[in-house]
Chain A
Amino acid sequence: MIIAIVSVIISFFLDGLLSNYFNFSLINPSIFKTIYTIVALVVVLPYFNNDRKYLYILFVTAILFDIVYTNTFILNIILFFIIYLLNKFLDFFMPHNLLNSNIRSILSLIVYYILSFSILNIVKYNEYSLSLLLNIITHSIIMTIIYTTILYFITKYLYEKFNIKQIR
């Protein structure tokens, strides 16, 4: 469980840290931008046999994400939970391997961007065009694949080294 928590914490801080070094904005999306926290939550999910423990981590992370990064309330808790449900659904079709982890991460990111885009447009927080959404999604794919692959191998290595099969 500590490995999973550390992965999520590091990814959470990476979100803030890398936002300062890679120039990007809504106008100019960067190929180095992804949401590292979501990728980490997706990659560590298969190591949890006990969903309750995973959900604790997910909710705490989502609350912090809401408060620290987006200045919102509940929004990311709902979005992260929907991503969790999506991944549980994908469990039926996708065994745990590198390719599937990448597909899950990309799908989760797409769902996150589409839902946040839709909610913010519906409640008139902002009005953005679909072309912006597509631009952001396409720009996020490369870094999502890179980070998922790195995190997949690191977590797999650590879980095998410490002979942990699943978190109970």
Chain B
Amino acid sequence: MSEAAAPAEPALIAFRGIEVAFGGKPILTGIDLDMHKGEFLCVVGPSGCGKTTLLRLAAGLLPPSAGRVLYEGHDIVGPQRDVAVVFQDYSDALLPWRTASGNVSLVYETLGTPRDERADRIASVLARVGLAEHADKYPSQLSGGMQQRLQIARCLAQEPKVWLMDEPFGALDAITRQSLQDEILRIVADTGTTVFFVTHDLEEAIYLGHRVIAMKPHPGRIAATYPVDLPHPRDQRTTPEQPEFMHLRRVLLEFIRGTQT
């Protein structure tokens, strides 16, 4: 590993020769992947290809069986507060007994933020995801889209450098999904964070990502990498009509079909 040959900006998160096996069964094999600062990386692949496992490695929720996962050059040994995870099952990831602001408050409580600062910061985070008026509602009183917004707000409160998102919009209807996609793009543009985005929706991956990683199952491995050469900011009406979008969509679709035969 020659440091001189590395690009000017070292990888923010790097997977090096990753192997993961559960009970002798290989789940991931030979994963080498660099994520750079400010990059929006989307991971697609059929179910069972280990894309969620890859995300859990980066989150520090799971150690690799072999190989190293590096964050800013250091081995990841456990979860860190500047890496935020957005789960698909928002209703299970929120605390049902706390209001929207209470759920965000949890972050400030664990960070030891002084009590008198919390209220303002909670309000500003909730406002950023459009939940200002729902601060006193419990998750059970919020729609699915609003609950997912709340989970995003809770992650925002962590002021993360990296977002790890595990099919965050998979359980939402199409309209809500589109508006949340744009919101994530806006948040990422505002904060300059790095995103690792797992999805099974190819169009979503192309629409959001700078780069799309396609994975194959049995055992999970990276099959191909596609840079997405589409202008920013992206637009729900015009971006999908661009030739590059349609081309990538077709390539990825063929790839997925190929893994299923």
**B is a partner of A:** no
Interface residues of B (CB under 8 A from A): none
Interface residues of A (CB under 8 A from B): none
